[in-house]
Amino acid sequence: MITKLATDVTTLAAEGATEHNPIIPLWQEVVLGLIAFSILCFVLMKFVFPMMEKTFAARVDAIEGGIKRAEAAQAEANQLLEQYKAQLAEARTEAARIRDEARADAEGIRQDILAKAREESDRIIGAGQEQLAVQRESIVRELRSEVGSLAVDLASKIVGESLADEARSRGTVERFINELGTAGSAGGRR
Amino acid sequence: MIGQSIVLAAEVPFPPSVEDFYLPSILPWGEHNSYWFTKITALLWITVAAIIIFFLATYRKPQLVPTKKQWIAESIYGFVRNNIAVDMLGKRGINFAPYLTTLFVFILLMNFWAIVPFAQISPNSHIAFPAILAVISYVMFIYIGMKHHGGLKYFKHALIPPAPWFILPLLIPIEFFSTFLVRPFSLAVRLFANMFAGHMLLLVFTLGGFAMLNANVWFAPFSVVSWVMTIALTFLEFLVICLQAYVFTVLTASYVQGALADEH
């Protein structure tokens, strides 16, 4: 059996050696291989891989563009925020200023009103006092004449005699009134 | 391959040979010396068509917010663009990302046929395809170097390292050998040999199972072990497939990086 195998081997090996050498390329295969590989290279390198590069570039662009857009939006938002903050602070100081002003105004108005009211009251009081003095004066004057006539009347009634002598009577009345005045003032003081 | 193996179970050709990599032509059917339309070239065209259809379909109407399919297509491109091109070449890497991605996807799918049921052979196990890609990488890095440094100055820059003059006679041949002679071969052979060996390994364990079964029925348990190994090796092969596609792309990028470098 083994010898048979061995002879097979030798015959086959001999055949192989005579017919083909695996180290020497077959020119038909070289031609076909060149054509096939050229076609493959042409199609892939012209239509497929450049497209892939383009897609990669577009993808990078999309991502980086998105990042840039986001950054721009963020910056804009920050700027707006700053602006709003500044405006708010401004408004706050403005409001405080207005409030202070209003307070000052109110104080001023109050002082004015108070001053006016005081003045007015002084004025009213003064007028009242004046009026009172005038009235008192007139009353006193009236009373004086009235008291004179009354006293004269009374005196005439009591005495029952007409005082013929005018000058005497006037003197009497004057004296009487003066006495009365002093008595009155003494009584008023009392 | 499995179908073929079962048919041939009565008389399994064991061990597998180089001839197992040269399958009969599809059109004209069964021809042994016609290579224009074989399983290998059919897989090549299917690979190219599948990649083109996938990318055109998923990237017909690109949107800023990607759909699931668009996201997958973008992830593939983004992986090579960011993890290989930009990582190694900096900003300039973006210009090379389309080619590097095409290269990566092409190698990955070509390799992947090695473990797809009913295909189960990678066109990259024929050296023609790795050789084409390696030559393109070779021409590309030399062209870029000449463009960047200005014509023949590139060779001066690439060949003469900043070293004492007396050591230059030793260094220049080494630099020339490693940069301008070995690079295309190492690139092509690395990929080809990995896929070749991977296919060979799978063949050995698959056919070996049948061979043992044929030799003696009592070997059946060993056949089962052999086939389990095939499945395990398929997973290993998947790792190799991804790794080799990545390595080829990274090395191409690194050659370009070397050509663009201003310091040594």
Domain assignments of chain B as residue spans, ordered by start: 2-260
For residue B35, the chain A residue with the least C-alpha distance is: A28
Element (H, E) at A137: helix A49-159
Residue, of B134 and A2, whose pLDDT is higher: B134
Chain A residues in contact with B125 (beta carbon < 8 A): 22
Judged by CB atoms closer than 8 Å, whether chains meet at A33 and B47 is answered as: no
Decide if A129 touches B, using CB distance below 8 A.
no
Judged by CB atoms closer than 8 Å, whether chains meet at A28 and B129 is answered as: no
Chain B residues in contact with A8 (beta carbon < 8 A): 13-14
φ/ψ (deg, to 5) at A70? -60, -40
Q: Is B169 helix (H, G, I), strand (E, B) or coil?
A: helix
Judged by CB atoms closer than 8 Å, whether chains meet at A51 and B64 is answered as: no
Judged by CB atoms closer than 8 Å, whether chains meet at B99 and A41 is answered as: yes
Out of B18, B35, B73, name the one closest to residue A22 (CB): B18
Decide if A32 touches B, using CB distance below 8 A.
yes
Residue B9 has pLDDT above 90, yes or no: no
Number of A to B CB contacts under 8 A, please give it. 127
Q: What pLDDT digit, counting tens, does each position of B83-112 carry? A: 999 999 999 899 999 999 999 999 999 999
* CB of B154 closer than 8 Å to CB of B145: yes
Judged by CB atoms closer than 8 Å, whether chains meet at B131 and A30 is answered as: yes
Does the N-terminal peptide bond of residue A25 adopt cis geometry, omega within 30 degrees of 0?
no
Out of B14, B51, B131, name the one closest to residue A40 (CB): B51
Amino acid at B128: A
Q: Which of B108, B47, B78 is nearest to A48 (CA)?
A: B78
Residue reference for tokens 């189960």: B120
Residue A118 has pLDDT above 80, yes or no: yes
Query: Which pLDDT belongs to residue A165?
Result: 61
The alpha carbon of residue A12 is apart from the nearest alpha carbon of chain B, in Å, by: 7
Out of A5, A26, A43, name the one closest to residue B14 (CB): A5
Q: What pLDDT digit, counting tens, does each position of B244-264 carry? A: 999 999 999 999 998 988 776
Residue, of A3 and A146, whose pLDDT is higher: A146
Residue, of B148 and B11, whose pLDDT is higher: B148
> Rounded to two decimals, what is the model's pTM?
0.70
Residue, of B20 and B259, whose pLDDT is higher: B259
* CB of A22 closer than 8 Å to CB of B189: no
Cα–Cα dist B128/B121, whole Å: 14
Cα–Cα dist B245/A59, whole Å: 29
Give the contacts of B204 (CB within 8 A, at least 6 positions apart): B15, B16
The alpha carbon of residue A95 is apart from the nearest alpha carbon of chain B, in Å, by: 55
Reading the block at residue B166, the tokens are 């007396």
Decide if A91 touches B, using CB distance below 8 A.
no
Query: Which pLDDT belongs to residue B54?
Result: 94
CA distances to A33, A46, A97, B79, B99 from A49, in Å = 22, 7, 71, 13, 9
